[in-house]
Every structure is written in C-alpha cells, then in structure tokens.
Chain A
Amino acid sequence: MTTALDAATREQIAALFRPFLAEQVTLSPDGRHVAYTEHARGELLVIIMKLEAPYSKVTLAVDDDHELAFSKEKQHARLRFLRWATPNRLVFAPAEEKIPVKRPRGVFGPKYLAPILGVDADGKNPGKLIDGEDYLVTVAGVPTDLDDGIHQYSRASEIVGFPAGDRDHLLVRALGYQTGPTMIPTTAFKINVQTCKKAELESEPILGAAGYDQQGKLRLSYLHSSHSPERSFLLQGATPLKFSESWLGPLAGRFTITPQNYFGERAIPLGFDADPNVLYVASNVGRDTFGVYALNLKTRQRTDLALEHPHVDLAPLEPGYPDAQLVFDEFRGQLAGVRSPGPEPVGVWHDPEIAAAQRALDKKFPRRTVEILEWSEARTAFLLCVTGGTEPGRYFVWQRPENLPVEVMRRAPWLEVAALHATESFAFDTAGGQHLTGYVTLPRVSRLKPPPVVLCFANGFPATPHAEFDREAQVLASMGLIVVRLNHRGVGGFGLKHRAGLVAGIDRAPIDDALATIEWLAARQPIDRKRIATMGNGFGGYLAVRALQLQPEIFRCGVAFDAPLNPNLWLQPPVDVDASDTFDFMRETTRLFLERSGANLSAISVLADLKTLTHPVFQIVTIAPGDPIEIANRQLRGHLQRDAEGSDYVEVNADYATGLPEARARVYEQLEAFFNLNLDDYKVKIGPTKEIK
C-alpha cells in the first residue's frame, strides 16, 4: 500500500527536515560579531560574522556528523556551548561524545571526547581549553593495581559558564558517580580562555546534580538516588540552608520531591545570583504556575522579587544545573529575567530596560514570538530569534540607536515562506471551562473541499507543548490536510490545573478536548467532518488510537508512533532477574499520577476491548525487541490486519525519531498512501491538486 513520492515531495521533506541554520547563535559583547552553527557536507561548522562587514566570515569546522545504528544517514553533530567570552574571544564545544569501545588501557569508564575550544573573532589563536582526558581522576585510597590495572576513572563533563565578573575564565565540572563502593568525585575546573591554563577548584563526591554559585563554588546538590523514592536538595557553603526552615514560610518543606508531589505543588532551587547569598527558587506553592522568587540566605528573608506568568510555568518540573531559565546580564551582574522552558519560551523580565525592549520588539513583529537571546554590554544591540506563523525562525540584531532590526540570517533560507502552509495559534475556553491552546496549519492546496483534518495530540508524558513551527505539520498540510495541534489537558508548562486536568479522565479528558477543538474549528473554518484523523507520538499516540475506540463516529483513522497502547504494561517495572532495590522514580510518579483519577490502567488499555477498534491505524514502531510498547503494538497489528482494513505497520529505527530526512520520507510516503486510502475516497482516482478558492 505505497505510492512513490515524487522527487519534488522528497526534496520538500528533505528541505523541511534539514537541520536549521544557527541552531546555536551568540552575539559578541560589543555587538559587532555574531557566531552561529551551520551544517554543511556532513560537518558541523561554526561561522563568525562581522556585522559591519558580513562578506568576510570565518568558518571553523568543529565536528563530523555521527554514524547512526541501522541507518545510512548520519546524525547531525551538535554544539553544547557557544558563547563569546570577550568581544574578541569565542568559546565553543561540540557535544560530548562517549566512546565505550575505545576505553584507554588502565582507565575505568568510556573514553570521552569533550573538547572545549577558543578562537579569536578573526579565526586566529585557536586553542583547546580542555578535553576528556583532563577529567581523568585517580581516587585516593583506591588501589591502582586492581583487576586489569585500572588506576584512573574517566568522567563526563558539564560546562557551567563564565564566573561573575570574570569573562576571561570558564567554569567546567567533571561529573562524579558511584561505581561499586567507590565514589568518583565531581570536580570543578577554571580555565583561562585566552591562555588555556586550567586550575582545579574543588572536588567532592556528589550523588546527583550539582549547582555552583557564580564564583564557581559548589553550593547545591540535587540528590536523586536510584534507591530512594525521594529526591532532595542540599545547600552548602557559608550560609547553609535547611529547606525546612520556618522563615521560608509556605515554601518550608516544599523542596523535597516525591512521586506524590512531583506533578503538584512544590519548590525548586534554581541557582545563585552574582551575590552568592541570594538563591533563586521556583515555586507553585499556593498558585497555578511556577513563578520565580529569591531568598536572601544571609538576612534569612524572601526578597520582593516575584517573576510570574498567569498561564505559563517559568520553571521545568525537573531542575537543571546550570539552570537554563534564569537570564542574567552578565556584564552588570544582575538578574535580567526568566525564560520559560518549552519550545516557545516566554520571557518575563525583571530588568525594566529589557522589559521595555521586549515590548517594543513584540510590537515590531506582530503574530510572532520574539525571543531576546542576548544583548551587547552597552545594550545597543540585541540578538533576537523571531518565530511563528509560517516562519521557522529568523535571527535579527536590533540596532537600538538606529531603531533598525537587521536580519542576520534565516534558520531555513532554503524554505520559501510563500510556499509554506500558514500556521495560526488558537486559544479558546471550552464549555467545561478548559482553556485550550494550539496551532492550526491550513493547506495551501487540497484535493478535497472542504479539506480533511488531522488532529495531533501532544507528544509524550508529561506531554510537551506543541512548537509553533512544526516540520511534520508542514508535511501533513502538503498532503492536503488541515493540521490541528492541540495542547490538551495534561500537557506540561501551562500550570498545575492544566496538567492535573488529565486526572479527570486519562483518555477521556484529552479526547473531549479534541472534540471541543473540532467543534470550535468547524465554527470558523470549513472542514470535512467525515474525514478527521488523529495522530500522536508516545502517550499522544495512545490517545490517537484510543480516540478511534471512544469516538469512532467522529474519527475515521489514526496514526500512532511508539504508542504505549497498554498503559498498565507500559508502567510495569521490567522483569528484574537480580531483584535489585532500584526505584524508577519517573515510572512510579507517572503511574501514581495516572491512577489518581481512579482509573484502572488495564481497563483503559487499547488492547482491553479490541473489538471496539474498527478504524484503520497507521502504526509507526521503533524496533526494540522485548519493549512493552513494541509488544503491545504487535498485538494491535494482528487485530487490525483482521478487523480494520487499510491499517499499516511501519518499523523504524532511531533515524526516524531523530528526524533524519530519508527516514522521514520513507514513512511519510506510506503515510500519504494511508491517508489517500482512508481519508480520500479510494474508489476515486486521485487527480492533480486543486487550489482552494
């Protein structure tokens, strides 16, 4: 059941899934240079552009694309760090590469390729600041002649950033771990970005993530042992804090994370101010969304700082160190604001000047999301990423004295904006009071009038909100479908109530949201009510198939990628032959959350009542023998082959999930045939596409 995609369609998919230009980009402190990444001929490049003379660029080849198992295509190499240390010195680092088979003799652990590099703006004076071998450690007290002569331990690394007020140095830490009885310490390094001289700062055994203050001192540990059902934070230093202290008011005792409160009310330490006595924390205690607040550890008082957004969580459920949400003006040593996590970051600015700039820029780009990425030391130049509508993204440097936004580059200059399908965001309240948001992509041309609809549930669990520009939505729209991407109840990032809304019915609530969205859309846009498909990835895939069971009169077919069709099986611990006492925190948290609704996870399995599933399903399944998801999908496949004509089952490798163009094109080729068969009238020969008037 396949149709050959024509060359133009393959080309279009290849263009859509080609890695964006400038996946990372940075503005020099004097606002005169921009450095950005580019993929070309299987290589990751860093380009340095002088804004006054953009014709003279410096190109640095950084890394080769990597082999990917079971794929002819290569995985695109990525950077993990790209920042200007000074107006003339750029620091960058390709993503750390772990090579288990190349373990050096006498070293425990894999080999890490983890170079951090520095170069001048004109491409001169390149230097390696540090690399994986610099993280090898000899642990005191452990004999060096054990077993096969191991005397050193390798360690992964993490880049912390520049210390406050010192952009000539970079802070890096080698990450410790436990192997058997041996604790391998976490070590911080301070490296001169000009001379590449390294200094080891401190070394401590830590089980979990470590947070440093802006002077490079280890101050915070995020302890999450695989043996404990609790996660906790430990604050060290001259002014240690017990997170249970009464002066914290409602936050006291809310920093411990358990499966019971993970999706509920709690507080999270985020990081330190340039003043090491000020700790920034995120909290949703007593409110719907996570806001950001500050604690003065010395005065033992909460400060007046309160950065909040009525609809968006300003911190992720899982903290990261260094924290990605706090945005500092590193030149002034001040917190500038907070950037929400997720595909569409919302900036909430503490700095009034940056807030004013954001307002001015939002006005310049209506119906777009303007993200202020960086600014020059004098605040005369602002680096922006502008996304939204049909636009995958463009980078601008807003020259404030001239009040001119200079378009520096497009993320995808190979995509013609006028040839893309228009995307609009939507937001409405259902009759039940649910505030729903999402995106609608309208096909430029469609064979059918009115066009059919594919409703996409959000991906994963907890579900990630949809991004404004979505490559897959463009492909689906090219097939003539109206693509609705819904942030239904249960999707993360929109506050407690929205997330907990899933408890009203794990399957029922999102599907009710989908029905409400279709009604809302139909009131505004002609759609073919008889031709509505569902689609989803992970838990969203489960919902896509479940919707066919629960509302077969509404939905005609579905597409599911790696769908956990049987939630109970999905959340079962794996068969543990060794009977270890490890605790899978996220699995138990998810189970507990889903069971809060009182649902019997077995009863809501797609497989529990297969006779109710009579509509065709396009299953995309990653080959993973023994995986409960694959097992459940194979079971469904057998049923569909018998009882749901038109179904299809496609096995994919990691290249599909990675979004590599060839792998995507292969699947979309079959998916188009699936839609032709099940949404279009297959008795009618499909003719050339017609423009919708």
Chain B
Amino acid sequence: MKRAAGFLRIASFAGVALLARAAEPEPTPAPEPIVRLPPMIVSDTAGGAKWLYASVRGDEYLSRCSRSTTVAFVASWSRALERLHAVVPDAFLADIPSVTVLNDSTTKPKADDQVAREVLRLDNAMAQPNSRSAVGFLPNLELDGRDLSAWFAYIDEGMSDSRELAISPPYLRFLLERRTPMLPPWLVEGLLVVNAQVDVRAEAVTLRPFIWLSSAESSAIARNPARPRALLPAGEMFAPDALRAEGDHHPQRVQTLRTQVGLFVRWALDPRHQAREAFWAFAQRASAERVTEELFIKNFGFGFSDLRDRLSDYLPLAVKEPLHLEPRARTKGPRIETRDATPAEISRLRGTWERLEIAHVQKFYPEYAARYIAQARRTLRRPYEEGDKDPRLLVELGLCEIDAGNSAAGLPFLEAATAAAVPRPSAYYEVARLRFLELMRDQSPNRLCSAAEIAPVVEPLRRAIKLPPQLPEVFGLLADTWIRARESAPAEDVEALARAAHYFAMNPAVSYRIALALARSGRRAEATELLAHGIDYVADDAGRIRYAQLQAALTKPEPAPR
C-alpha cells in the first residue's frame, strides 16, 4: 500500500489506548501540548495485504491486519464497551454505528515524510512517557459524523495479546452528548471523570482511587480526612450557569466543579450508598427537565445540602480506596467472524473514513482540503461507476459532495439513497435542508409558504425522525419549516416537536426554534416550559433576552378564536 500522508493528531492518541496489564497505577499524565496534524489518507490497496471485513452489533471493521490481530482488536473493543456499560447503562449512550479501519503498523508512513516523522516521534514519546509507564498508545484518529463515527488506527501485530483497549474520553463524550434526551453537562462531565478512572487491568470493573484536584491534594486528604476542602453547593453543581456569572470563572472554582461532578457519580455508583438506582432515575429526569432540589429529594430522599455534606465526607474514602463496582452478569463476548472484504466494502468503508476527513481538514488545514476531497471522491466513485448502487454508498457519495461544497451534485445521490430507505437520518436531513434552501431562495424573510410547498421538506424530516440517532438539526429544520408555513402543523409534527422539546431543551441551537413552532401550534404551555428550561443553557446575554421576550409574549393571554 502506498501511503500518501500518514499523519495523526497527537490529541487523539489517547483515543483508543492500548494499556498493558501489569504494573502499578499511574497518575493521570500531565496534558501534552497538542500538535494538530492533518489525518491519514489511506491510499489504494495495490500491492498491500488483503483487507478483512467484520461486523459486530452493527459496527463495521475493515482491517489490513492479520486475522488473529483483527479478532483480538474487536474482542478487546467489545470488552472495553462492556466495562463502559458497567459504569454507564446503554440507555445513557447514543446508539451510533461506527466504521473502523485498521492498519498494520508496519505500513506506517515512510520516514522521509517530514510530517509522518513528526507523528512517529510523538507516537514514541506518548508510548514511553517514562520508564515506569504501563500505558501504551495506539496511534489512531476518530472522526464523528452526524449519525456515524469512524476510526482509523495502526495496530502493532506483535503487541496484541496482552493489551486492553480503553474508551477514549472524546469518544465517550461523543456518545454521551449525542444521546437523546440530551444529558445535562454535569452528568456528561461526571461520567467522563469516572470512566477515566476505570482500571482496565483489573478483572472486575474497578475504579482507581479518585483524584481530587491533583494527586498531591488527593494524597493529603487521604492522609488527613479533616483537611479543609472546597466543594460547590449541590445546587451550583447542577446549575448550567455555575461558571457563567462574572466572578464565577476563577480557575479553582472551575476545577472544583469539574472534579466534583465526577465525585458525585462515583458516590452514586458506590454500592455502599445504595444510590445507584436513584441516581440513574434522577439522571433520566435531569435529562428531560430542570434539576431542582425537589426533584433531587424525590429520587434520593435528602436535599442539596445533605448531598454536599455526603460528598465531602465521602471524599477521603474515595481518594484512598479503589472502588469495585458490582460486576454485572458477564455477557459472553460477541461472536467475531472475519472474512475477506469485498471491493465494494473496501471502497465504501475507506471512502466513509476519507469523507469524514474532509470536514476535519477543511477546518484545521484548509490548504490540504482539495487533496482530501479528491481522494474521497475517487474512493467512493470507483464502485459506483462499476455499478454498485448500495444505498449506504450513495449516502456517502452524496454527503461527500455536500462536504466538498457541491450540494447540487450531492442531492441526487441522497435522494436515491432515501428512496431506497437507507437507515441514515443525515441523508434525509440533507435532502430536506437542500429543498428548504431552494424553497426559500430569493424569498422575502416574511413570506409564508403553503403546506403543499413545504411538503417536500417535511416528508424526509418525518422519515429522519423515525431513525436513530435523533438529530437536533432535523427537529430544528422541522420547526423552521412550520414557522414559515401558513397552515398549522399537523398533529404528527406537533407531537414530534413536543418530543424534541424534551430531547433538546439544553441545545440552544434548536430549543428557541422548537419553542416558537410549538407556540405557533397552540402548545403554549410546552413552549413556555421549554423556554424556561432552555434559557439556562444560553450562554450569551442577547440570546437570553430573546428567550425572555418570547417567554413574556407567551404569558400574554391567547387571542380569542375568531
């Protein structure tokens, strides 16, 4: 295989981490400087090893490693997910399929490539931060799409047996943040903190002793449980605006908040407190409504001040002892079968990766963008031109053109894919978005459309709503469309918007629009509730004023029916 530009972003090295089994726990490594490099282009396969294909629970793997290494990787990844589920129930994670492209590390970029050499140097530095380190790093990059995530990783064939994969914080954040109803930020941060403590070397799922602010501070509290310590009041811990007001940005406060939410999650998971069920029930409610002390009491039986006290009293124990989570009934790992990948699969999956690279490169290295677009197009078009009309391929072709800025070329692919009922909500969304733009082109901003005019927009949105994952932009566009309509939205769409009010209250990009559409549909109470909840998550003053104005308008009596 010819490698065109084997570049990895050092920030993502911690993405999928290979961790050795032995050796003592290592304190959290100091943050390394981030060197941003354009991602890998996987060039053509001529002359390289053959590609293997595997599919497990809807996730697809394309591997140029040996069969045993591929199976070991997939099995290890499955165990990592199982450990994750011992900390975070499935219901709190977005169900988003992934594509993983694995490469043998011997095919790394040549050393005469300046950027590649830089990658390798960083790779080595990360792999051996010091002589006691038990942590190895798998060079990899993960890129997220709307309804799909993709990985690219190098595997060292010689090091596969005794290593365990761990879920990277960015990937877990992606899974948590894309879950619907949306999880409140404190919960996302708390789960990230706790998951980072999972000791992958332990047999049972075990959290290492908690790190409170720093290793030194944690040791000091472990030695002296009466050591003074600052914890935020629980009300502030749950408040979306805890760090927003002037005077609330002090680094000590910021760091305390971020660590404290992790302490709360750990406390809740600790079987000694018998609070796990209450915690997840509370988390469920907190993702759909504003957290109040009453809500907390209803779930836990005590109030915010008691919670702060209990966390403070728990801290000396948390920093001192590992926490063995009750092992769940171990599922028998999934059956992993590999086979030779078909040319269509190779092109589609590689093309998917390359298509996702486009947005990344456009954002960070625009000077390389044209190369990446060309590469993705080449990879995806090859099977298409050979007659492959797999709707999954069509979606990638369409999205590739849109990412390349050529929407007109992309739309037919997407329309064909949606006509074939492809299970990708982003395809339906893009079709609807492009039709909406077309409908609104050169129109006065106040122009209202007829139901017939907006039908081509609404129809794909309705289909997208029925597919996982639920995309906020789908509901945002549905709201925009009905805001611009002369007629009232039908019950089906109003119900969808009402559902979205619960899903996306914490997303200021869509909550206002959904509230406005609900209000126009006569669902004032739900709109008011959404605004009251959503305003907490609006960061800027101007935005909050807009929310407040709409709230005020909604408190006025409804006009009498004519």
Contacts and interface: CB of A to CB of B under 8 A. Distances in A.
A403 B309 contact: no
Nearest to A398: B230
A422 B297 CA distance: 13
B226 A366 contact: no
Contact of B232 (A51, A367, A388, A404): A404
Contact of B303 (A367, A407, A409): A367
A55 B227 contact: yes
Interface in B248-285: 248, 250, 252-253, 256, 273
A417 B235 contact: no
A428 interface: no
Nearest to B227: A54
A509 B410 CA distance: 85
Contact of A406 (B225, B228, B250, B273): B228
Contacts of A417: 306, 309-310, 313
A405 interface: yes
B195 interface: no
Interface stretch (A371-379, A389-397, A613-621): A389-397
A392 B248 CA distance: 29
The 10 A-B residue pairs whose C-beta atoms are closest, nearest first, are: A364-B233, A404-B230, A402-B250, A406-B230, A368-B305, A408-B228, A54-B228, A365-B305, A402-B252, A367-B303
Interface string A406-425: 11111001001110001000
Nearest to A361: B233
Nearest to A34: B228
Contacts of A589: none
B230 A407 contact: yes
Given A366-B293, A417-B309, A417-B313, A406 B235 contact: no
Contacts of A625: none
A404 B256 contact: yes
Contacts of B313: 416-417
Contacts of A404: 230, 232, 250, 252-253, 256
B230 A51 contact: no
A80 interface: no
A237 B79 CA distance: 86
A403 B248 contact: yes
Nearest to B301: A422
A363 B227 contact: no
Interface string B392-419: 0000000000000000000000000000
Nearest to B231: A407
A401 interface: yes
A402 B253 contact: yes
B224 A55 contact: yes
Given A54-B227, A409-B226, A391 B220 contact: no
A451 B313 CA distance: 30
B247 A403 contact: yes
A102 B6 CA distance: 93
Given A366-B293, A391-B305, A406-B228, 7 more contacts: A389-B306, A391-B309, A402-B250, A404-B256, A407-B230, A413-B226, A416-B313
Nearest to A422: B302
Interface in A192-248: none
Contact of B228 (A51, A365, A413): A51
B306 A390 contact: yes
A500 B232 CA distance: 44
B103 interface: no
Contact of A401 (B229, B247, B256, B308): B247
Interface residues of A, number: 33
A364 B235 contact: yes
17 contacts: A363-B235, A364-B233, A366-B293, A367-B303, A367-B304, A367-B305, A388-B305, A389-B306, A397-B228, A401-B247, A402-B230, A402-B250, A404-B232, A404-B252, A410-B226, A416-B313, A418-B310
A401 B247 CA distance: 7
Contacts of B312: 407
A284 to B, nearest CB: 33
A527 B397 CA distance: 70
Contacts of B232: 404-405
Interface string B227-246: 11111110110000000000
Contacts of A368: 305
Interface of B: 220, 224-233, 235-236, 247-248, 250, 252-253, 256, 273, 293, 302-306, 308-310, 312-313
A399 interface: yes
Contacts, number: 81
A365 B305 CA distance: 5
A407 B302 contact: no
Contacts of B253: 402-404
B292 to A, nearest CB: 10
B299 to A, nearest CB: 15
B236 A364 contact: yes
Q: Is the interface of A mostly helix, strand, loop or mixed?
A: mixed
Most buried by A among B225, B228, B229, B248: B228
B273 to A, nearest CB: 8
B177 to A, nearest CB: 27
A447 to B, nearest CB: 21
Contact of B220 (A55, A401, A406, A407): A55
A409 B228 contact: yes
Nearest to A52: B228
B247 A407 contact: no
A397 to B, nearest CB: 8
Contacts of A401: 247, 250
Contacts of B304: 366-367
A251 B72 CA distance: 90
A313 B106 CA distance: 83
A409 B312 CA distance: 11
A407 B233 contact: no
Nearest to A391: B309
A51 B304 CA distance: 26
Contacts of B235: 363-364, 366
Contacts of A365: 233, 305, 308
Nearest to B302: A422
A406 B312 CA distance: 10
Contacts of A413: 225-226
Nearest to B293: A366
Contact of B305 (A389, A409, A418): A389
Contacts of A397: 228
Contacts of A407: 228-231, 312
Contacts of B247: 401, 403
Contacts of A416: 313
A311 B350 CA distance: 75
Contacts of A406: 228-230
B230 A399 contact: yes
Contacts of A410: 226
Contacts of A408: 228
Given A403-B248, A403-B250, A389 B303 contact: yes
Interface string A48-63: 0101001100000000
A366 B228 CA distance: 21
A55 B256 CA distance: 20
Contacts of A55: 220, 224, 227
A134 to B, nearest CB: 38
Contacts of A51: 228
Nearest to B234: A366
Contacts of B309: 391, 394, 417
Most buried by A among B230, B302, B312: B230
Nearest to B254: A402
A586 B226 CA distance: 45
Nearest to A416: B313
Contacts of B248: 403
A230 B302 CA distance: 51
B59 to A, nearest CB: 42
B298 to A, nearest CB: 14
A416 B310 CA distance: 9
Nearest to A409: B226
A418 B306 CA distance: 9
A390 B313 CA distance: 14
